[in-house]
Structure 1
Amino acid sequence: MTPKEAVDFAKKNNARILDLKFMDFVGSWQHFSVPIGELEESIFEDGLGFDGSSIRGWQAINNSDMIVIPDPGTTVMDPFMKDATVSMICNIFDPITKEKYSRDPRNIAQKAEAYLKSTGIGDTAYFGLRLSFSSLIMFSTIQQNESFYSIDSEEGTWNTGSDEAPNLGAQTRHKEGYFPVSPSDTLQDIRSEMMLSWSRWVLLWNATIMKLQQAASVKLICDFPPL
């Protein structure tokens, strides 16, 4: 997507907010938002200023000015915001030298990709994403002299003898929870909803599965696109 196409995309979707995302030195996502009126083609050359001293490992307070320049190729509508919000991933630049910032992880990855190409070992670097987590209910009790917690799931083998509904008598056995079908797999719908929602972000997901641990363990596997 070109800068002009990115601006037109925001107008077509009636965006009201521009959200600018970048990654800090330790790998956590950061962002700030501005009114959509800031989105002009010039922003892809001039960028917007921000306080770099607020980011861990970056600039000192007396030298805090930095610039974010959005990458038009990352333009998407954020499906989770109340107000129509267009989101872009940014590169970080030094406002004096106009060079990419040496501590920007995105810049480091781009340089690594360029080095890979220069060696002739390969011409493309692929970066994938796998999300693994558990969808569990947690119970906790805190008293003046004691505290404890426990986790629970309809899929848990420990519920085999439970009298509660739904049917808990034929659960997937321990460590055999990778590919069970419904009704043993109770999380198909929520995994599908996650996959379809994230697909709006130009992330192509190729699988959603239960994990080996069983009891509400989830894995979402993304395709491996280039940087």
Structure 2
Amino acid sequence: MPTDGIFQLPYKLVDGRIEPLTFTADQVMSRLKEDKIKFLDLQFTGLFGRFHHTTMDSKMFRAEDFTDGLPKLDGSSIRGFTEIHESDLIIRPDPSTFATVPWIGTPTARLICDILSGGSKREIFPRDPRGIAKRAEQYCIDQGFDTSYWGPEVEFFVFDKLEVNTMTPYQGQSYHIQSREAPWSTDSVGYALRLKEGYLPSAPGDTLMEYRNECVDVLTNNFGIVCDAHHHEVATAGQCEIDIRFDTLVNAADAVQSYKYIVKNIAKKHNMIATMMPKPIALDNGSGMHVNVSLWNKGKNLFYDFADEYAEMSQTARYFGGGIIEHAQALAAIVAPTTNSYRRLVPGYEAPVYVAWSTGNRSAIIRIPAHYKGPKFANLKRIEFRAPDPSCNPYLAFSAILAAGIDGIKKKRDIGDPVNEDIFKMSPKRRREFGITQLPASLREAYEELESDNAFLKPVFDSETIDRIIEHEEKEHVELAVRPHPHEFSMYADV
């Protein structure tokens, strides 16, 4: 074990591959002493995806807290959790999530927590997103699958400055984005990235390579989240992607929450701001969170079938994809849960709008990546669901996608024929001929779809959780609906 503040790396090399370490309760207690950790940051996720925390002196933390939990949560103060008369909840740290936080001056470590109901039962709280994800994993096992693997591709923007004026709603509201990369910047020195032309530019056009390097270093060396690569994305003004290694459902959702936490705090350290807002820039590409998923049993990828000449895709995968297609409109409320999500889901910006599937067609909501073929690459066969964006709660999103896919398997809902044409360029008549429908055009349409189609979620989500998601999104819709948009003044002020 390390001494003098030099932390042990949270991963190991196995056959030349990086594999994360999993800490036990005893190992965490040893690390607290040996690494002279002074504070423990106890983190958990609210129903609508916000990361919360409470911090305690590490000397006050006991080994039995990993089993008994800590009475440190007023559930009535977290949106969507409890009413004021039933507010006492318990947080129970998971030792496997131990990580050190390098940007805090005082030696600090974090633990992600499950949320338990108070009282004598000490059960997982029904609206704990991490608890829902654990139920989804168990549901997957109950249906005869050893595990599911999840590979989220999280995109985000990093701005130099973001100014938002919301204090005078009666006089007007505004925002201003500053980015040295943007074509409207006065600091770009001739190297501005034009709208939709930000994909993989070299320096000096890409100004954020060192920032992403630092994020990867922290993700891997402190949090044990293995990263494959990182790059600038298509949009101007600092759109980034850091690719993280696939993992099981709960672990992958933990990784997404940690990813958001890290990229935001590293940006703050450099006086920048990272945002998971899906569509912050008008007329440019938005940020997605494409989700890659596969089902496995006894070490075999059940989505692979060499006999399928088109996509090497098994019947199990076709049914799973069929479930996603069938419930796509309702899923939108969970995987694209903000009003801003539907600024992204419009034709013309590479975001998937149409309910269809293909191999290379990025205008469809499901893609079957086909970079490699043959039994050698059977482990890579997966379904890529392209509708989610990074504003979603990953625990809920992965759980809902799994529930939809398994519903398709149980009901044998075949995914149908692929669409290999550019759907954006099809006429409405042509789309009707293919039977192609469209995702909801607004958050209101999405939560109304969820209200009418949610039975497939019931093995994983309880009814009250679904109701609270719908209620919350209705409020979000109204928040925007009652305020005039700034661009409306240029369109209608002279009518």
Partner of 1:70: 93
1:54 lines up with 2:77 in the alignment: yes
- 1:109 and 2:130 matched: no
Tell me the equivalent position of 2:202: 181
Partner Cα separation in structure 2 for residue 9 and residue 110 of structure 1:
27
Write the distance in 2 (CA, Å) between the matches of 1:42 and 1:138. 44
Q: Paired residues, what number?
A: 219
Q: Contact 1:131/1:221 (CA < 8 Å) preserved in 2? A: no
Structure 2 residue corresponding to 1:206, chosen from 217, 228, 233: 228
Q: 1:216 Cα deviation (Å)?
A: 2.8
Tell me which amino acid in the other structure corresponds to 1:100.
I
Whether the 8 Å contact between 1:132 and 1:220 is mirrored in structure 2 is: no
Unaligned 5+ segments in structure 2 are 1-22, 166-170, 251-495
Higher alpha-carbon deviation: 178-187 or 42-51:
178-187
User: Would you say the 8 A contact 1:25–1:56 is kept in 2?
Assistant: yes
Q: Distance in 1 between matches of 2:87 and 2:176?
A: 46
Once the 2 structures are TM-superposed, how far is the Cα of residue 147 of structure 1 from its aligned partner? 8.9
Partner Cα distance (1:152, 1:71) in 2: 39
Q: What is the aligned partner in structure 2 of residue 118 from structure 1? A: 142
- Seq. identity, %: 29
- Aligned 8 A contact 1:128 1:225 in 2: no
Q: How big is the shift at 1:134?
A: 3.5
Listed as ranges, the gaps of 5+ residues in structure 1 are none
- Is 1:16 the counterpart of 2:38 in the alignment? yes
Give the C-alpha shift of residue 110 in structure 1.
0.6
Larger relative contact order (Cα-Cα within 8 Å, sequence gap ≥ 6): 1
Return 9-18 or 215-224, whichever deviates more: 215-224
| TM-score normalised by length of structure 2 | 0.40
Map residues 162-177 of structure 1 onto 2, 5 A cutoff. 167-168=189-190, 172=193, 174-177=195-198
Kindly provide the CA deviation profile for residues 101-122 of structure 1, in whole angstroms up to 9, marking residues without a partner as x: 1110000001011111221255
Opposite residue 198 of structure 2, the aligned amino acid is: G
**Partner Cα distance (2:100, 2:179) in 1:** 34
Q: Superposed, which structure 2 residues align to 1:131-146 within 5 Å?
A: 131-137=155-161
Match of 1:79 among 97, 102, 114: 102
Q: Structure 1's 149 and 20: CA in aligned 2 closer, same or farther, altered over 3 A?
A: closer
Cα distance per residue 1:3-36 (max 9 Å; x no partner) = 1111111111101111111111222111111111
Q: Is the 8 A contact 1:79 1:197 kept in 2?
A: yes
Alpha-carbon deviations, 1:48-97, whole Å to 9, x = none?
10222222222232322221111000011111222211210111112321
1:174-202 CA-to-partner distances (Å, cap 9, x unmatched) read 42321122233222112211221232212
In structure 2, C-alpha distance between the alignment counterparts of 1:149 and 1:62, rounded to whole Å: 39
- Contact 1:25 1:104 (C-alpha < 8 Å) held by counterparts: yes
Where does residue 194 of structure 1 map in the other structure? Answer: 215
Q: Is the 8 A contact 2:151 2:247 kept in 1?
A: yes
- More strand per residue: 1
Distance 1:122 1:195 in 2: 30
Deviation at 1:218, TM superposition (A): 2.1
Structure 2: how far apart are the matches of 1:151 and 1:24?
28
State the alpha-carbon separation in 2 of the partners of residues 157 and 24 from structure 1.
Answer: 37
One-letter amino acid matched to 1:193: E
The answer to whether the 8 A contact 1:117-1:124 is kept is no
CA drift at 1:42 = 0.8
Q: Name 2:181's counterpart in structure 1.
A: 155
Q: CA deviation at 1:157?
A: 4.3
The aligned amino acid for 1:175 is K
TM-score if structure 1 supplies the norm length? 0.83
Report the equivalent of 2:121.
Answer: 97
Distance 1:149 1:21, change over 3 A: closer
CA RMSD across the alignment? 2.8
- Distance, in Å, in 2 between the alignment partners of 1:150 and 1:93 is 42
CA distance in 1, matches of 2:174, 2:113: 44
Q: 1:109 to 1:187 in 2, by over 3 A?
A: same
Change (3 A) 1:56 1:69: same
Mapped partners of 2:71, 2:181: distance in 1: 50
CA shift, 1:129, in A, is 5.2
